[in-house]
Structure 1
Amino acid sequence: MSYKFVFFDIDGTLLNEEKEIPADTIKAVNELKEKGIEPVIATGRAPYFIKPLTDALGIDSYVCMNGAYVVYKGQTLYKREIEKPSLETLVALAAQHDHGLVFEGESRYCSDRDNHPFVTDSIQSLKIDMPSFEPEFWRENGIFQVFLHCESHDEHLYESLKSEFTLIRWHPQAMDVLPLGGSKAQGIAALLDELGYTAEHAVAFGDGLNDKEMLEYVGFGVAMGNSHPELLPFANFVTTHVDEKGIRNGLIKAGLLTA
């Protein structure tokens, strides 16, 4: 079966540690488009944080907030909000332990803590603007993803939430909180189904723990050479480092580009 789509994670996949797009990655993505194969972003980031990247690569389709918000060619195809009763439970539990929360809505994001050090450290690592301080933002807006700021030794405090949420660590001081069963794979499935394609028509690239389901779901999954070790068993192929033509080499292995 010929591949029609390639889904790309952002951090550690399209972007290197300096949050820059390697020149060869830009060239490889352009070559892909010239062959009539559609590149799509698949990220944990919200749509309002990816415009510089999508502009640089000429991509207008994306699976954001770990599959909860999907846009194809500028049109929203799929949205999955976290239910308010579940958010209320999360907010109450995090408050007991003074763990800051950041709520991601459709057009902006806000925190329930002002200058919380864990929030500051994790958000600064993404090189994006800090969230505004609006503790009640989650009550009045649709929320698609939450950042829960705690260290790994405190994760056990949130075991009771696993019947309502999917939690994935992405930073030493932060976890993504998604609707139960949420993943990039779920968003990709929604997009492919809407367009009349199946998982076998897709290739995906990733490097983090939130890429497991995506790489396992698609027809050909590629893990970056700089991937988290736990991601590797879910990939069909492990390519080179993001700064060592990792995207190009993965596309060559998938049969989409030539050397």
Structure 2
Amino acid sequence: MVKAIFFDVDGTLLRFNEETIPDSILESLHCLKSNGIKVFVASGRSYAQIKRVTDFPFDGFVASNGALGIDAHGKVLYKSSIPYIDLFNLVQYLESRPSAFCISYMTEEGVFANDINELLEHHYSLIHIPLPEKRPLLELLRSKVFQLTAYITPEQEKTIIDNIMVNCVATRWHDDFADINNQRYNKATGVAFWLRYYGIGKRDTMAFGDGGNDIEMLKYVKYGVAMGNARQEVKDIAYHVTAEVEEAGVVQALKYFNLLQEEDGLITL
């Protein structure tokens, strides 16, 4: 019996050409909650960026790819930052190569960047959020950083993770950039936190996603659902592949698993 479902946002609940989650999806989420199923967000977005697209009463949030666990009232219940030594090494690397690449990063104060380039602008326009505030590179060392996004090639990513930020892991949901987090935390560890918090077993869980940052989560839950628009490596590990986000893949999968009926009533697995 499914008791908890975790949803990625961009490319899963939210279409890339829209700024808010469609009403049809929200209605389905309300139906799930009305039948006692816990509903969560698990996103690479910050909490503030999640709240920009919906005020739906989720039961909890896994934000910044698992770096933050936030309850329904906005209270931070756990947080994990990138080790200072990794940030220090990155600053040294970029100071010696001023034009190497652009980064944006999430702190408790907000989202910032060392520079604004075309790749960063495209990323932020893709998910309809304001550009980060530009700050000097050394500011990266003055706050706890929960997630860093580097606008780099896969080859550059390997160099950074293997030699510079060795206590971190990189994941991609777009070819132009990689999200970098503390290697001890990801969306799956965020899911595990909420299952302990509510006393729910793994056998009673489901998750939806489309990007490389969703793989660990989809592997962790009982029913991992990949969107039709997901990267191939995500589809390869999924329990089930549904339709694309443009075709309301979430709703189709909920019906496939008999969690949502045509008349919007719910039954359990």
CA deviations on 1:29-62 (whole Å, 9 max, x unpaired) are: 111111111211000001111113331x332521
Structure 1 residue 220 and structure 2 residue 219: aligned? no
Q: 1:153 to 1:83 in 2, by over 3 A?
A: closer
- Indicate conservation of the 8 Å contact 1:5/1:201, yes or no: yes
2:176 to 173, 177, 197: 173
Question: How far has the Cα of 1:88 moved from its partner?
Answer: 0.8
In the alignment, the residues of structure 1 paired with residue 58 and residue 109 of structure 2 have an alpha-carbon distance, to the nearest angstrom, of 19
Pairing 1:32-43 to 2, within 5 Å after superposition: 32-43=32-43
TM-score, with length taken from structure 1: 0.91
TM-score, with length taken from structure 2: 0.88
In the alignment, the residues of structure 2 paired with residue 103 and residue 181 of structure 1 have an alpha-carbon distance, to the nearest angstrom, of 18
RMSD of Structure 2 on Structure 1 (CA)? 1.8
- Indicate conservation of the 8 Å contact 2:16/2:126, yes or no: no
SS at match of 2:52: helix
- Structure 1 unaligned runs (5+)? none
Pairing 1:37-186 to 2, within 5 Å after superposition: 37-55=37-55, 57-59=56-58, 61-74=60-73, 75-97=75-97, 98-113=100-115, 115-135=116-136, 136-158=138-160, 159-161=162-164, 163-186=166-189
Question: How far has the Cα of 1:14 moved from its partner?
Answer: 0.3
In the alignment, the residues of structure 2 paired with residue 137 and residue 256 of structure 1 have an alpha-carbon distance, to the nearest angstrom, of 47
Amino acid at match of 2:113: S
- Indicate conservation of the 8 Å contact 1:77/1:191, yes or no: no
In the alignment, the residues of structure 2 paired with residue 206 and residue 156 of structure 1 have an alpha-carbon distance, to the nearest angstrom, of 24
SS at match of 1:18: coil
Q: 1:154 to 1:257 in 2, by over 3 A?
A: same
CA deviations on 1:207-241 (whole Å, 9 max, x unpaired) are: 11111000010111111111111101221111111
My pick for the range that moved more, 119-128 or 224-233, is: 119-128
Pairing 1:185-204 to 2, within 5 Å after superposition: 185-204=188-207
In the alignment, the residues of structure 2 paired with residue 155 and residue 189 of structure 1 have an alpha-carbon distance, to the nearest angstrom, of 27
SS at match of 1:193: helix
SS at match of 1:102: strand
2:8 counterpart residue number: 9
Question: How far has the Cα of 1:125 moved from its partner?
Answer: 2.0
2:265 counterpart residue number: none
Q: 1:96 to 1:110 in 2, by over 3 A?
A: same
- Indicate conservation of the 8 Å contact 1:110/1:137, yes or no: no
Question: How far has the Cα of 1:153 moved from its partner?
Answer: 4.3
- Structure 2 unaligned runs (5+)? 263-269
- Indicate conservation of the 8 Å contact 1:225/1:246, yes or no: yes
In the alignment, the residues of structure 1 paired with residue 252 and residue 258 of structure 2 have an alpha-carbon distance, to the nearest angstrom, of 10
1:233 counterpart residue number: 236
Question: How far has the Cα of 1:162 moved from its partner?
Answer: 6.0
Amino acid at match of 1:68: A
2:267 counterpart residue number: none
In the alignment, the residues of structure 2 paired with residue 141 and residue 92 of structure 1 have an alpha-carbon distance, to the nearest angstrom, of 17
CA deviations on 1:115-167 (whole Å, 9 max, x unpaired) are: 33332222222211111112233222111000111123433432324631101
- Indicate conservation of the 8 Å contact 2:70/2:77, yes or no: yes
CA deviations on 1:184-229 (whole Å, 9 max, x unpaired) are: 0011111211222232222100011111000010111111111111
* Count of aligned pairs between the two proteins: 256
Give % identity. Answer: 31
